[in-house]
Each structure stands twice: as C-alpha cells, then as structure tokens.
Structure 1
Amino acid sequence: MATTDTSIRSSCHCGAITLTVPRLPVYINVCQCTLCRRYGAAWGYYYTDEVKIETKPNAVTKQYIWGDKNLSFNFCDNCGCVCYWWPINPPSADGGEIEMGLNTNNANPELLKFVDRKFDYSVLKSPLGSKATPHADDPAKY
C-alpha cells in the first residue's frame, strides 16, 4: 500500500531557517492579535516534538518577546521573515503535549490550499495575564 507524504517544509525567504513538520495543520489561524496581524502570519499548530528546525551555518534566528512573555516570535535576522512562535515557559510535565506555531505563509501555498483558514477575532478582546504589558492598540478591558 502506497503512502502519501504530507510533510510540510517552511523556510524564510533567504533559506537560512527551515522548519519541517510531518503533516498538514488541522487548520490555519490568521490571528488578529496586535502582533500577528502586523506580521501577516498564518499559523499552523504543531506539537514541539513534531517540528524539525534547521539553520544554515552562520544563520541567526532573532526573537521578539512581549506581553506575558509566554511566547517567542522567531524570525530570520537576514531576510526578516517571521518563521514560528515557540513557548518560552511550557507547562510543567503534566502529560500534555506542548504546541508551537508555524508560519504557513512561508510554505508552498499549493500544499495548503485545501486547509481551512480561520480568522480569530476573539483575541481582540482577550486580556493578557499581566495588566502592565498590553499593546497601545489592545482593545481588551483590564
């Protein structure tokens, strides 16, 4: 019986940072939070142990961390493409798997054309855990 390879390869524009995941995402989230909408990111969610991250020699991955400091947004220092977000302080080992976000806009769109896209507007009114760190455009009530 033949198997179909559904792995996804996602890379920044210059090819310095490449992520490979074994399957299509369940859906793609076009998050509308104050940060993601500026990035223009479209997230596919994966368990961290499913993700293979490769960098070319001398490639630099930069991070942007804000708000509750739960996630690092990782991008290529050379071409500037946001590649993925990664949990900074994952929950303690409670048996649950830890998720990360892959920017599917860096993958071949032909592979993802039948994956549902969701525009998540609920985050617009969702306050951060810390009242001290919201973005100036954050409409949530604290």
Structure 2
Amino acid sequence: MTGQCLCGAVRVTIESKPEFIHDCNCNLCRKSGGAWGYFATGMVAVAGNTASFLRRDKANAAAEVHSCTTCGSTTHWSFSDAFRAENASVDLMGVNMRIFDPQELAGVEVRYPDGNAWAGAGPFEYRREAMTIGEGSPW
C-alpha cells in the first residue's frame, strides 16, 4: 500500500495494513494530525523530502515527526537518535494512516488512547470505544 502527502511529493509504502490505528489526543498527535499505524522500520519505505521535528514539551521526547517539506503534511515518525542509542532493540516507527485512502484500510480497528492524560509510562486509558473502518464509520 502506498499513501502520499497532500501534494504528492512524499510517498510512504507499507507492506500490509496495520494491526490497528491509534488516533491519540496528546498535543503532538492532535496538532500534527497523526493517526498512527505501527511497523518495523524494514516494512516501510519513504520517498521524498521530509523535515523532522522533535517535540520540546517533553523532557525525554523520543519521536521525531516527519512532514513534507512542500505541503507540510505529516507522514510518519521515527525514534530520535538519542532514543535509538539507549534502546537499540526497539525497531518501530509510526506511519500517519491519514495519508492512505480509507477504502484501503477497511477492516482496521481505530483505537482512541487518552494520550493527553497519560503520564508517559505504563499503559494508558482509552477515551472512547474503538471502531472499525468501513463499518458505517466516517473515518
């Protein structure tokens, strides 16, 4: 599956649908417009120029959010160099599933974590019940 930013300059190709999508309400996710599918880095290919941003509102920020340098659409996130240096065994990145056609995501569950209330460690609560794309949903 291949998704693209608004202007088409950045394309993200994934090997399969994600197991689920997180539509989080933390400041980073809400303001970047991200709804994340998670993949091992080898399952994702990114083509095109992106700029990355490492959030400054968290002391131990780990995710660098990437956006198209032309249209500004958020495309994916990757772990920062500092995080990878301390967590070499973690092989994960997030892809903004909003850059894909919703019909391609039919059957994928969307979960709604309450990242805004999450302290940053341990499990988080969900702010509403999950839904499945394509079951009469407007996603």
- Is the strand fraction higher in 1 or 2? 2
Matched residue SS, 1:124: coil
**Residue of structure 2 aligned with 1:80, choices 72, 75, 81:** 72
**Residue of structure 2 aligned with 1:37, choices 30, 33, 40:** 30
- The offset of 1:113, in angstroms, is 2.4
Q: CA RMSD in A?
A: 1.5
Q: How many pairs are equivalent?
A: 114
Superposition map of 1:1-142 within 5 A? 8-55=1-48, 60-66=49-55, 67=58, 68-88=60-80, 89-90=83-84, 91-93=87-89, 97-121=90-114, 123-128=115-120
- The offset of 1:44, in angstroms, is 0.6
Q: Normalization by structure 1: what TM-score?
A: 0.74
Residues 3 and 100 in structure 2, CA contact (< 8 A), matched pair in contact too: yes
In terms of Rg, which structure is larger?
1
* Runs of 4+, deviation exceeding 4 Å: none
Matched residue SS, 2:116: helix
Q: Deviations over 1:60-89 (max 9, x none)?
A: 311111122311100011101000010112
Residues 38 and 95 in structure 2, CA contact (< 8 A), matched pair in contact too: yes
Q: Report the identity percentage.
A: 26
Q: Normalization by structure 2: what TM-score?
A: 0.75
The gaps in structure 2 that reach 5 residues or longer are 122-139
Q: What is the alpha-carbon distance in structure 2 between the residues aligned to residue 92 and residue 35 of structure 1?
A: 24
